[in-house]
Structures are given as C-alpha cells and as structure tokens.
C-alpha cells in the first residue's frame, strides 16, 4: 500500500509485522527493523511498512531509543500539521468533558495521557488554570509548540470565565536521556505566555483542598489517578480507626476523615511529605482527627498492636519499574501486605494498591493470596478498581493499564 506522503520508510520483519497485526501496539522496537529507506533526523515522522509492502502506520523515529518508532497514526492519508494536533487535543478534551468534567468539587484531572490520547510520550495534568506537562519523546518535543498552542486554544474556548492558562514543564526525568533530550523544568513561555509568580497552587478534589507544589512534588506534583479510589475510601471510613501508609500529600487520610473516620494516622518516611500533608489538613479541618507519624511503613506495621487500627490503607510507590526487578517487588508487596493483614483485627478493612505496570493484575492478586495464607486470614473482596477514566486504558497498549486497587475485609 502506498501513502500520499514522501516520508522515509521503515521496513519491519515478518515477525514484527505479525506482532503488529495481532496487537496493534504502537511501538516498533530497534531489533524489529530490517531496512530503512530515505534520510531523516531523530524526531522526524516516518512511514512503517511490512517487508511485503503492507502499510503499518506512521510515527516518530529516534535512533537513540530502543523504541525506534512510536506510531501515532495508522491512517495513510493523515497530514501531521497544526490542524492534526489540534484535532487530537479536541478529542482528548471532549473525552474528559464527558467522563470527568470539572466542577466546584473537582478542578484537577489528567488532560493528556500519552498513547491513550494519541500523544506518544506526552503527559499533561490540569490543576485549575495551571497545566503541568512531561515530554518524554523527541517527536513530541519537536512539535510541542503546536501542541501547546492547541491545548491553550481549546481550554480557553471551553472556559466560561475566560481564564488564562499557563504551562509548567516537568522535564526533569531520566527517561529524556534515553531519547537524547536534556532534562529541565520551568514555565513554557510561548507567544503571549507570561510567567506566574508561584509554582504552588491550591486545588480541590472530592471536595478536599490541597496545596500542590508542581515544581518540586513527585511526577507533576499530585497523583490525580487515585481520585475515584480516594472517594471509595471515604465511603467506608465512617467510625473507623484508619492508618494511611505512604500518605505523601495526605490524600487518602483526608478522604477517610471526610468520610467520618474516628481517627486517622497519616504515615510517611519523608518529613517533607508529612509537612505538606499537615498543610493540606489545615486547609480542610479546624479540629482534625488526623495525626501524623514519620516512620518506615514496614517498621511501623511491625510495632502496632492488633486492635490499634481497623482500616489500613497501603499506597506505596512503585516497587518495580522494570521486568528485571519483579521478583524483588513481589516480595516487597507481599511483606507490606502481610504486615497489614497481621495488624488488622478480624473484620478489619484493607485497601491496597500497586502503581507499577510491570506488576500485573494477575501477579498482584497472587501476591495478595500468598500474603493472606501466611497471615492466616481470608480476604473478602469489596471492590477491585483501577485508575480514573481521565487516565484511559487502551486494550492494545498494556502499559496504559497500570494501577491496581483493592478493598478487602480481613476475615
């Protein structure tokens, strides 16, 4: 099949073609390419073909990366101009307005979720009028001005109050090195863009206020993917004594308190995280039932008594970021969940999650079963949840399906 364009051609092996045909996965790996026709610069767009001539798609090429081509379209007639990227932005915005519109109780969400929205290597979170982006592919980096302009245009059109939006770039991540890009962070100052004075903003999620330090906080400053799961915690926290492990900004503990928890202990090994959590509590409660502890969660769980808590929440950082360390991660997840199960009384409640794609749903459930057997308890499942709908999952891209979240009663 021919295209209507004159892009360089990347020819992939028969085995790679079969993989593409069966999975429609948007990544073409370095070892799947058998031939390249035409000259290009890294970050350019190329057309991908099978050896027998079948058109696969078009995408960003980069010789620096093991992901040699990131396919962004399978339409041979697409033209990758400003209008193309504006259409993609409008699709992403319209989707969020349908599944997760902003209101007086929620003014934060993910606006662009990489491959799920057709922007391979771009993450963009919205905190009110501040947009925080991470650009992880050279192809997006080369086109970010067009993309950012489209985002600002679409948001301005959708704002009833005529708000002015600002973009802050959190490109201080090591993965940019693999794409041949420099790291850094700061305000995007495109045409007509001004620089706000502060890199801290107050947001509201589930009716709870938070201060977000989007310059220095983890990832883009706040984890908006747990929004619905925090709400689920609130729904069952009434009259419970709650331990919120790995509290970070205090979000699960705050939702438990809002749901009527009798007492909440928010725990984190980071003093800085606890200080931020205290600020967030002060925004929401005058006489709070929330206490704080700076400690290692593993050590803390080993020291508490059986009936100190009847609801424990585990929201640890990713214990693995590669397939090579899955075994160690499995042991870590198993240990922390075992300790929580042992610490809870019969009839207590456990919420537990993993944010690592490499820890699959099946493996995570197997780990929970192993931990429960060693703890001598049974787990009665209340809910199994995932990330919020503003972090859409593409069935053909397993990497977009990463968050596992369970609520159990311990029997």
Residue-level pLDDT at 6: 86
Q: Per the structure block, which two tokens stand in for 251?
A: 């979000």
- The 3-state DSSP class for residue 115 equals helix
Which CATH number is 242's domain given? 3.40.50.150
| Nearest residue to 330 via CA among 319, 314, 338, 321 | 319
In a domain, 208, yes or no: no
Residue-level pLDDT at 316: 93
Cα 200 from Cα 203, distance rounded (Å): 10
Collect the ranges in the chain with pLDDT lower than 50.
none
Residues 334 and 404 in one domain: yes
- Whether the CB-CB separation of 43 and 49 falls below 8 Å is answered with no
In a domain, 98, yes or no: yes
Sign of the torsion formed by the C-alpha atoms of 202, 205, 209 and 210: negative
In a domain, 50, yes or no: yes
Residues 194 and 239 in one domain: no
Residue with tokens 């509590």: 281
Cα 315 from Cα 32, distance rounded (Å): 37
Let me know if 355 is a catalytic residue: yes
Question: How confident is the model over 341-389, as pLDDT tens digits?
Answer: 999 999 999 999 999 888 899 999 999 999 999 999 999 999 999 999 9
In a domain, 212, yes or no: no
Cα 366 from Cα 330, distance rounded (Å): 10
Residues 314 and 352 in one domain: yes
Residues 90 and 143 in one domain: yes
Residues 244 and 341 in one domain: yes
- Whether the CB-CB separation of 333 and 364 falls below 8 Å is answered with yes
In a domain, 302, yes or no: yes
Residues 245 and 357 in one domain: yes
Task: Pick left, alpha or beta for residue 272 (phi over 0 → left; psi -120 to 50 → alpha; otherwise beta).
Answer: alpha
Sign of the torsion formed by the C-alpha atoms of 233, 234, 236 and 242: positive
In a domain, 294, yes or no: yes
Residues 371 and 275 in one domain: yes
Backbone angles phi and psi of 210, in degrees to 5? -140, 145
Q: DSSP secondary-structure letter at 164?
A: P
Which CATH number is 52's domain given? 2.30.130.10
Of 36, 53, 73, at which residue does a domain stop? Answer: 73
Domain hosting residue 105, numbered range: 82-202
Give the contacts of 89 (CB within 8 A, at least 6 positions apart): 112, 147, 150, 151, 154
Cα 214 from Cα 131, distance rounded (Å): 9
Alpha carbon 211 to its chain's center: 19
Residues 133 and 272 in one domain: no
End-to-end CA distance of the chain: 60
In a domain, 391, yes or no: yes
Which CATH number is 102's domain given? 3.30.750.80
Residues 323 and 406 in one domain: yes
Residues 182 and 307 in one domain: no
Residues 179 and 257 in one domain: no
Q: Which of 245, 353, 355, 411 is catalytic?
A: 355
Residues 340 and 388 in one domain: yes
Domain total of the chain: 3
In a domain, 216, yes or no: no
Cα 389 from Cα 16, distance rounded (Å): 31
Backbone angles phi and psi of 202, in degrees to 5? -95, 130
Cα 120 from Cα 26, distance rounded (Å): 9
Calculate the dihedral angle through the C-alpha atoms of 254, 260, 261, 267, rounding to the nearest 10 degrees.
0
Residue-level pLDDT at 358: 83
- Whether the CB-CB separation of 193 and 131 falls below 8 Å is answered with no
């Amino acid at each position: 099949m021919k295209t209507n364009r004159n892009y360089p051609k990347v020819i992939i092996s028969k085995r790679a073609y079969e993989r593409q045909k069966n999975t429609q996965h948007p990544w073409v790996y370095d070892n799947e390419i058998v031939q390249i026709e035409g000259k290009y610069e890294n970050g350019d767009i190329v057309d991908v073909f099978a050896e027998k001539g079948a058109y696969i798609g078009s995408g960003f090429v980069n010789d620096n990366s093991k992901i040699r081509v990131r396919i962004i379209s399978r339409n041979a007639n697409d033209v990758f101009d400003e209008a193309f990227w504006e259409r993609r932005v409008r699709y992403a915005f319209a989707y969020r307005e349908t599944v997760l519109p902003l209101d007086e109780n929620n003014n934060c969400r993910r606006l662009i979720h990489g491959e799920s929205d057709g922007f391979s290597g771009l993450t963009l979170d919205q905190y009110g009028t501040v947009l925080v982006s991470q650009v992880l592919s050279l192809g997006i980096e080369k086109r970010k001005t067009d993309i950012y302009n489209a985002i600002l245009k679409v948001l301005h059109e959708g704002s009833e109050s005529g708000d002015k939006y600002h973009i802050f770039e959190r490109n201080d991540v090591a993965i940019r090195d693999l794409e041949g890009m420099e790291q850094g962070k700061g305000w995007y100052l495109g045409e007509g863009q001004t620089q706000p004075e502060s890199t801290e903003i107050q947001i509201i999620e589930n009716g709870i206020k938070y201060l977000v330090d989007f310059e220095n906080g983890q990832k883009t400053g706040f984890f908006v993917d747990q929004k619905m799961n925090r709400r689920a915690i609130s729904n069952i926290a009434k009259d419970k004594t709650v331990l919120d492990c790995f509290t970070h900004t205090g979000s699960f503990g705050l939702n438990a308190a809002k749901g009527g928890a009798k007492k909440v202990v928010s725990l984190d090994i980071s003093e800085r995280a606890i200080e931020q959590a205290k600020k967030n509590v002060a925004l929401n409660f005058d006489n709070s039932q929330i206490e704080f502890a700076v400690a290692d969660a593993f050590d803390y769980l080993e020291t508490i008594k059986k009936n100190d808590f009847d609801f424990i929440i585990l929201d640890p950082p990713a214990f693995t970021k590669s397939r090579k360390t899955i075994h160690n991660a499995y042991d870590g997840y198993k240990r922390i969940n075992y300790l929580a199960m042992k610490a809870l009384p019969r009839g207590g409640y456990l919420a537990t999650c993993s944010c690592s794609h490499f820890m699959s749903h099946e493996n995570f459930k197997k780990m929970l079963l192993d931990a429960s057997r060693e703890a001598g308890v049974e787990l009665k499942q209340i809910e199994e949840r995932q990330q919020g709908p503003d972090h859409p999952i593409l069935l053909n891209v397993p990497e977009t399906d990463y968050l596992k979240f369970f609520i159990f009663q311990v029997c």
